Structure 1
């Protein structure tokens, strides 16, 4: 039996994904709206889902909508934004109890699908536009979300590395948009952008639970009725980049702890055959607590408060993140580069290889133990236009050899070094 039983159908301008499972006593409904990252739209898009969740035609105020969610046995509504490669993704999630476990058999699943459709297709408007007061409130909240990144220096260093490394690529744009674009957003401009979303976004609806695919199709056909004529976007093609010389950026701020972040181009994407090798490479290099960065930079040398690496699966980039004393810049950078060289020379054991594969498998299985995790894993297939089952994932990981990892390490290319240091630090080159 497969780990995930997914059925798909094209209905009314969206793709329906049903995952039937008896694991949960709730049903999870997640709408995914995908569009290209663009400078002109990124900030409008960042505010849109938060305005959508403020009210609908039937429940025009937040308090009325919350009361209705309570009436649905405490249903949970949540919106979020993410950036996957050069795509900007809106997620609207509704978690609702499965009516099979209730005494009164209220048709909760249909009510949930109807509500999700209304949030997307019939948001609260006045005279055909979003409500200006709500838009202004959400603009203030968006400013706070963006400012929070600047205040959290770990997140800020990640942002700045991406901005410097991907200076001429859409990926440089932040998921929450740009501060300077917020003042120009109006109820009309946001409504115009919303109409563009309905015309052009790729929309996927995931429903996970002890449900019938046939029944869900009927409900979706009944309630999602305004998406039929779709224009769509041109396909986003993520290009491979290669810098001739390593870019080094030093920034000074009033910080006590330095942030050394490094970007490597892997030029390997989720859909590629060597994607499994990338996952194993990252696990040994910096992804886990037994990795080279953790052991050698943090534990042995005590140079870093944290030292780790992570992969952007849809962009072909590997990031190294570390928090260090400013005076340790040169030494830390040198030791990080030594760990990459050790990977290129095959200086890791079969035991480390096996341990890494086991952790990756366990992480994957833990992820699909939640409905949200299942959807995130499955949605990678949509983004990459590559069908990859959990069984294929596990098999692919276990087939990676030491020789594969060494070969992969030798194609990694150092691109950008970013260092955030305190004023008056003694880092010089």
Structure 2
């Protein structure tokens, strides 16, 4: 595997991350704006990326901005918001052709950096707000996204599980924000908030590809100016919250054919902890792959689920189990899922399962690193998790996990909340 070299610099209040790679024919530029998850700001932060990618000062409409991207040999601009642990992250990405592969072209990267800087720092402003038509249109789009979660029952069930499990914790906050806050949000208030994040958010800027570092640094620092940040003033210190004393069981009824049984666990382990590697291997054997215990025992052997899998939230120390079941199979499916956790605690898995799962995880990590955006996300995990861990070290860490370590990590995992979304007839009726 190629060694990944990440060079970190601080200039003009910018945290720059340069990753040299001759693997790609494109240059990827990504800005990550990070702030604590808070109810007062989450809806504004959900809306902002969609507005910023619509227009800039020099390209004041979506069509003019798209024409400029087309001029840059079909450059791709995207933006969104997400949560990692108790942080909210706004991501703005631009992928552009590397001029080294285009005869007689020498200004593409300069042009792309200017455009990227404009998307971030010079949006289309009218008086004290964004362009009114863009503001209203993107508000409507975000409202549709909020409604879409309610219609997608798997997403809805997962959100409701987190609502119940993380009550009174910032992680409970919905990543798309809240419709009532959106309805009350004015253009002026959003613009004022946007100006504040440019000063206060932690801003990490990634450039990945085959490029001249000195010229890129010069271009970035001349285009982008931020007031010098005090280090870590906006940093969230991740901590694994303890579960409530007794596991909660929440049953909700709607007009659904297939019930959704989602269970949340506290892993009591975070990305920065030494036993994080063992947790990843635990998840792989337990529910991360089609060869896992959940898939085989809940779905295949007992035909109790249409799907059954698990996923980690590594910055918050959570493990989620997702399954789609027939409403009348609730207790049986729940009990078989619980038996798989007990089996993991008892070390009821073979050395072959252990080594095959480790290879699956390593292949997954390598696949992620083969994609420019995947590699940047992996490197940014370290920033959020406050732990420097080169990708090679992550792979070695997985490779060295022992059966005993997986059993030890299983012992730390505690069931917190069982959430069932079932048919109106009840959990025991069709």
TM over 0.5: yes
Q: Per the alignment, do residues 207 and 363 of structure 1 end up closer, same or farther by CA in structure 2, a change over 3 Å counting?
A: same
Matched, 1:52 2:52: yes
- Map of 1:55-74 to 2, 5 A cutoff? 55-74=55-74
Superposed CA RMSD in Å reads 1.2
| Shift in Å, 1:72 | 0.8
- Map of 1:90-129 to 2, 5 A cutoff? 90-129=90-129
- Which position in structure 2 is the counterpart of 1:302? 303
Matched, 1:7 2:2: no
- Map of 1:362-373 to 2, 5 A cutoff? 362-373=363-374
More deviation, 289-298/99-108: 99-108
Task: Give secondary structure in 2 for the equivalent of 1:18.
Answer: strand
Distance in 2 separating the partners of 1:20 and 1:426: 55
Distance in 1 separating the partners of 2:235 and 2:18: 25
**Preserved CA contact (<8 Å) 1:11 1:220:** no
- Which position in structure 2 is the counterpart of 1:152? 152
Task: Give secondary structure in 1 for the equivalent of 2:270.
Answer: coil
**Preserved CA contact (<8 Å) 1:135 1:186:** no
Q: Deviations over 1:143-197 (max 9, x none)?
A: 0011111100001001000010001100001111111111111110101110111
**Preserved CA contact (<8 Å) 2:305 2:325:** yes
Stretches of 4+ aligned residues off by more than 6 angstroms: none
- Map of 1:218-237 to 2, 5 A cutoff? 218-225=218-225, 227-230=226-229, 233-237=233-237
The alignment of Structure 1 onto Structure 2 pairs a total of residues equal to 427
| Shift in Å, 1:132 | 2.2
| Shift in Å, 1:105 | 1.4
Structure 2 unpaired stretches of 5+ = none
Structure 1 unpaired stretches of 5+ = none
Task: Give secondary structure in 2 for the equivalent of 1:41.
Answer: helix
Instruction: Give the TM-score of the pair, scaled to structure 2.
Output: 0.97
Distance in 2 separating the partners of 1:279 and 1:426: 32
- Map of 1:150-229 to 2, 5 A cutoff? 150-225=150-225, 227-229=226-228
Task: Give secondary structure in 2 for the equivalent of 1:79.
Answer: strand
- Which position in structure 2 is the counterpart of 1:389? 390
Instruction: Give the TM-score of the pair, scaled to structure 1.
Output: 0.97
| Shift in Å, 1:427 | 3.1
| Shift in Å, 1:398 | 1.3
Distance in 1 separating the partners of 2:242 and 2:139: 35
- Which position in structure 2 is the counterpart of 1:43? 43
**Preserved CA contact (<8 Å) 2:81 2:90:** yes
More deviation, 158-167/228-237: 228-237
- Which position in structure 2 is the counterpart of 1:318? 319
**Preserved CA contact (<8 Å) 2:202 2:234:** no
**Preserved CA contact (<8 Å) 1:280 1:357:** yes
